[in-house]
């Protein structure tokens, strides 16, 4: 299998899984048949085999236009509207992608906006792009989400000032609702090319839609291979045999440890390329699990870097957590340690060792230390880091997340808690309709 889940260091007895098989099978049926709670947002389940082929072609055509027209693409969105694309692009391009010459990249630089409300961030990005050829992909279901709406207002003006209305029209690509919402209305009025966010797919499950695919394709990544990985995940992770289904194993592993009061899961990687995959994973599980006082808190750590900061807490702190480690089995580089005659740092014993092999031993040493310290570890073994395997890993996590939500007894496809901060923010900004709450909050502050 191209993705395996290794339970050798999880300290879980097989009986703990067996007692949950029936519940897991029901959860799987509810997902596949789209009969479970939240079933109006289950379009992602079979999307890798049912996606709109015509729009997929248009996505690739638009990506080519972006490559031809611009030095930089600005992707405007927040949460699921940007994290999936950023995760895949970060995983599959150079760590220094934007700094590389165009001849090496063969695609525009990729910048993100609308994922925060920092005036400094927006101001500096606009200044950076002043003398570059720029395209924008704005992603929002409604068009009224505060963070991306502010950023798009500025970038729309930026492009119109730079290229005129007609020129801006050719450089703005909109991913939004098929028929309604402020952004859809604006796109139709201005004549922007548009792509669809399906009604039955929530943002954090939308990587395979135009939400993720257009920026990913514009970065020069093979989205056919990405979708093939998603299709492979769909086919493999619907098999009912627990022993042959790593996705089932991962879902139950989380559930077993949660019921042992291990209420924090730390997703660990040993490759900086996976940093934003962890950020996407945190949103996926955080928004899906955290309901009704239930759920695992999703955290992440990047080793060996964080072994010098979080390592002490993980090793010797409260034992309320477990680790899930992503291991890339194929070497990413053949760079080797070379001999130095002075050997002042004492590294000559590593002469001839590949850096990736040293990294692997760091993983093994850490694994054994943390397990000895009472921290269960599960290992996701990814055969290699490419578009197919990342595509499959995305489906692996999405399916496990849906299963885990049903095992917890929550709706993993809504996010009512996210609205609380928005309501308060609107009131404090004196948005019309929030007057009564404004007075209450200002008194409290």
**Which residues form the catalytic set?**
287, 422
What is the maximum span of the chain, computed from C-alpha positions, in angstroms? 75
Ramachandran bin of 106, using left for φ above 0, alpha for ψ from -120 to 50, beta for the remaining angles? left
Q: Is the CB of residue 205 less than 8 Å from the CB of residue 44?
A: yes
Output DSSP code: residue 354: B
| Cα angle, residue 210 at apex, residues 100 and 278 outer, rounded to 5° | 60
The tokens for 430 are 């004196």
The tokens for 414 are 């809504």
Euclidean distance between CA atoms 357 and 308, whole angstroms: 20
Euclidean distance between CA atoms 67 and 63, whole angstroms: 6
Output DSSP code: residue 324: E
Residue 65, judged by CB atoms within 10 A of its CB (0-12, 13-18, 19+), counts as middle
Q: Give the SS3 label for residue 381.
A: strand
The phi, psi pair for 122, rounded to 5°, reads: -65, -45
Euclidean distance between CA atoms 205 and 265, whole angstroms: 20
């Amino acid at each position: 299998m191209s993705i395996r889940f290794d339970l050798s260091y999880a300290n879980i007895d097989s009986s703990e899984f067996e007692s949950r098989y029936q519940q897991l099978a029901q959860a799987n049926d509810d997902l596949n048949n789209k009969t479970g709670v939240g079933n109006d947002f289950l379009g992602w389940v079979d999307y890798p085999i049912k996606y709109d082929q015509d729009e997929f072609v248009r996505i690739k055509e638009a990506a080519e236009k972006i490559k031809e027209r611009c030095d930089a693409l600005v992707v405007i969105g927040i949460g699921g509207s940007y994290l999936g694309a950023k995760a895949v692009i970060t995983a599959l391009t150079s760590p220094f992608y934007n700094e590389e010459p165009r001849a090496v990249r063969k695609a525009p630089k990729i910048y993100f906006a609308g994922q925060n409300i920092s005036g400094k961030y927006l101001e500096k990005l606009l200044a950076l792009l002043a003398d570059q050829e720029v395209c924008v992909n704005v992603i929002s279901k409604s068009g009224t989400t505060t963070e991306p709406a502010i950023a798009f207002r500025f970038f729309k003006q930026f492009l119109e000032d730079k290229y005129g209305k007609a020129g801006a029209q050719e450089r703005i690509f909109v991913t939004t609702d098929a028929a309604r919402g402020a952004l859809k209305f604006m796109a139709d009025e201005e004549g922007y090319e548009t792509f669809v966010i399906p009604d039955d797919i929530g943002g954090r499950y939308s990587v395979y839609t135009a939400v993720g695919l257009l920026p990913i394709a514009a970065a020069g990544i093979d989205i056919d291979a990405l979708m093939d990985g998603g299709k492979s995940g769909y086919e493999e992770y619907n098999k009912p045999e627990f022993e042959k289904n790593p996705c089932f194993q991962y879902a139950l592993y989380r559930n077993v440890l949660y019921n042992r009061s291990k209420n924090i899961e730390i997703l660990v990687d040993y490759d900086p390329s996976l940093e934003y995959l962890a950020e996407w994973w945190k949103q996926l599980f955080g928004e899906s699990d955290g309901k009704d006082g239930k759920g695992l808190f999703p955290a992440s750590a990047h080793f060996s870097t964080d072994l010098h900061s979080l390592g002490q807490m993980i090793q010797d702190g409260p034992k309320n957590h477990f680790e899930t480690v992503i291991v890339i089995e194929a070497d990413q580089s053949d760079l080797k340690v070379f001999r130095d005659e002075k050997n002042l740092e004492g590294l000559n014993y590593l002469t001839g060792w590949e850096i990736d092999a040293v990294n692997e031993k760091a993983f093994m040493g850490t694994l054994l230390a943390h397990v000895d310290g009472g921290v269960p570890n599960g290992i996701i073994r990814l055969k290699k880091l490419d578009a197919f395997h990342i595509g499959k890993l995305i489906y692996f996590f999405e399916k496990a997340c849906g299963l885990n939500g049903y095992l917890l007894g929550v709706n993993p496809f809504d996010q009512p808690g996210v609205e609380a901060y928005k309501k308060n923010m609107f009131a404090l900004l004196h948005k019309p309709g929030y007057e009564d709450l404004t007075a209450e909050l200002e008194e409290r502050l």
